[in-house]
Amino acid sequence: MLNVPQRKPHNTPRPHASARCLLAAIGTVLLGGILSHSGLAQVARTQAVAKLAVPKDQVVAMHAVLKRPRPTAPAEVDRSALVEKDTFNTDQGPGPGPIGPGPGCDVFPAPASIGTAVPLSYFGPPPSTKNQSLVGPVQLLNTGPIDVANGTITIPLYLGHMKGTGKNVWYILTDVDDSDVADELGLNFSAKMTFMGLAVRTANFDDNGDLIFDKGTVDFSPVRSVVPGPPGTEFPPVSAKPGAIGDVNYSPYVQVVNAANVIYNAPIVAFGVDASQINFPNGNVDYSKVHDEVMAIDPYNMTVTIQLINGFSFGRPVWYMSMDASIPLSAAIEHNTFAPLMQKLHLGDDDSFSSPIERIFIATNGPEKGGCNNPLRQGLSADLADGHRPNNTVGGIPTLALDYSPAWDANLYAWTQDAIDQDFRGQLREEFNILTFVQDKLLTGLGGAAFGSAGFSINCPIVLRLD
């Protein structure tokens, strides 16, 4: 496995001082049931390795290691049980990782040496090592090492407390609306987070530098369960229940009042438990106490390992996290926490003034025949049919655009029957390609409705651009 050099963890963030709907037509159940991202299947992870500042003399060896068809999961976590059972829609935990058994479930790019007369060792570093806007891999969330072989990231775990009760709040940090804080802590910068308004909860630092949260709790004890629709139309599901439920005041977005009102993306990964109850440094996590996307958690060394998910941004493969959703159906499919306060995010305006969101484009009836062996595999029905994530397409991310936000406004789309009959259906990886197909009437909103915001959002911090 390859580990990217890790920044020294900050046990407490130290911010600077800068700084509709379709739901009604579709129904809450239909709506909530979307999203699940990831893909998973080949090998050749060398470019990503190079992009992660790996010395050239390690690249060839790393490529050989990554050629294994089914990489094993970290520590004691048994991924094969999640992938190969027929119970993946009721299994607790994160589900399959981003390295799947076929090209339809893996977005990792092939090495540059394919089809050439020279070995990979002859190639120089990717252009992204010179300029992050150029082609090549770039780690965007820089708070800890990425395990390229298993598709996870290990980042600092933080401990705060609830005002009044003093209950423990175990959380992570991924994004912030202050660029200086982002640079200092290795977080993603998102200017749009400044406009999150009523969708944020509040907190203050105490004398020890720990965050004291005013409101917002999460219950991780519910059992996640999704019952798909019939074969070929698995989405929308018959029923869906999330495995973690926040109270009416819970949102992952937190404004620190006594530190310049800076807004952080700080998803809760465990709540109301002490360190001994969530000590799973080698996996085998108790998901009645911990977020479903957690692969391992070490409350003594203050680290947590999070599952990553496959997707695309402007045609480039990416890995990201999926932590929270504003409706139960999406939270259930996404292995996420249902965060009711996220419903107060203003959706539908994308990049206009005061918009807090960026769009995520989710196929509902994309290609699913053949499962992970199908290189065009995409969509929610495919997700519910085989348990792997749907290969969603997101809008702007750092290094490609200025409009990144971890709050993704879900834009569901469906291929028209006419497009399907003419064999036009395929895998779509780029925002404006999708919008053009909508304009050309090859795609519509769910159930033939007008295309646009589906009325809910997902908290999906970007982690790694793979190319």
**Is the model's pLDDT at 80 over the cut of 70?**
no
Residues 6+ apart with CB under 8 A from 293: 94, 306, 307, 321, 322, 323, 335, 336
Nearest of 143, 144, 127, 116 to residue 50 by alpha carbon: 127
How far apart, in whole angstroms, are the C-alpha atoms of residue 140 and residue 130?
A: 15
Residue 359 vs residue 22, higher pLDDT:
359
The confidence score (pLDDT) of residue 304 equals 98
Q: How confident is the prediction for the chain on average, in pLDDT?
A: 86
Please give the average per-residue pLDDT across 399-411, as a whole number.
97
| pLDDT for the residue 348 | 96
Burial track 166-178 (b if 16+ CB lie within 10 A, e otherwise): eebbbbbbbbbbb
**pLDDT of amino acid 53:** 42
Q: In 3D, which of 66, 100, 4, 25 has the Cα closest to residue 390?
A: 100
Cβ neighbour number for residue 331 with a 10 Å cutoff = 32
Sheet containing 158-162: give its strands across. Answer: 188-189, 175-176, 262-265, 253-256, 201-205, 211-213, 158-162, 168-171, 268-271
Judge whether 88 and 173 are in contact, CB under 8 Å.
Answer: no
What pLDDT is recorded for position 56? 38
Which of 393, 402, 409 is CA-nearest to residue 356? 409
CA 369, 371, 375: angle at the middle one, nearest 5? Answer: 90
Enter the tokens of residue 54: 């790996």
Q: Percent of the chain scored above 90 by pLDDT?
A: 81
Q: Say if residue 117's pLDDT is above 70.
A: yes
Cα-based torsion angle of the residue sequence 174, 378, 150, 69 in order, rounded to the nearest 10 degrees: -170
3-state secondary structure (DSSP) of residue 219: strand
Residue 26 has pLDDT above 60, yes or no: no
Tokens found for residue 218: 């999460």
Region 262-272 average pLDDT: 98
pLDDT digits (tens, 9 = 90+) for 284-318: 999 999 999 999 999 999 999 999 999 999 999 99
Question: What pLDDT sits at residue 70?
Answer: 30
DSSP of 143-188, one letter per residue? SS-EETTTTEEEEE-EEEEETTT--EEEE---EES-HHHHHHHTPE
- Give pLDDT, residue 208: 95
Confidence band (pLDDT; 50, 70, 90) for 137? very high
Over residues 189-199, mean pLDDT: 98
For residues 410 and 380, what is the distance between their CA atoms, to the nearest angstrom? 12
For the cut 60, the answer to whether the pLDDT of residue 408 exceeds it is yes
| HSE, side-chain direction, 13 A CA sphere, residue 80 | 5
> Which position has the higher pLDDT, 385 or 60?
385
Instruction: Write the CA distances from 386 to 15, 166, 171, 234, integer angstroms.
Output: 43, 42, 31, 10
Given this model, what pLDDT does residue 85 score? Answer: 58
Question: Is residue 46 over pLDDT 80?
Answer: no
- pLDDT for 51-63, tens place per residue? 344 343 433 333 3
Higher pLDDT, 35 or 261: 261
pLDDT digits over 225-258, tens only? Answer: 999 999 999 999 999 999 999 999 999 999 999 9
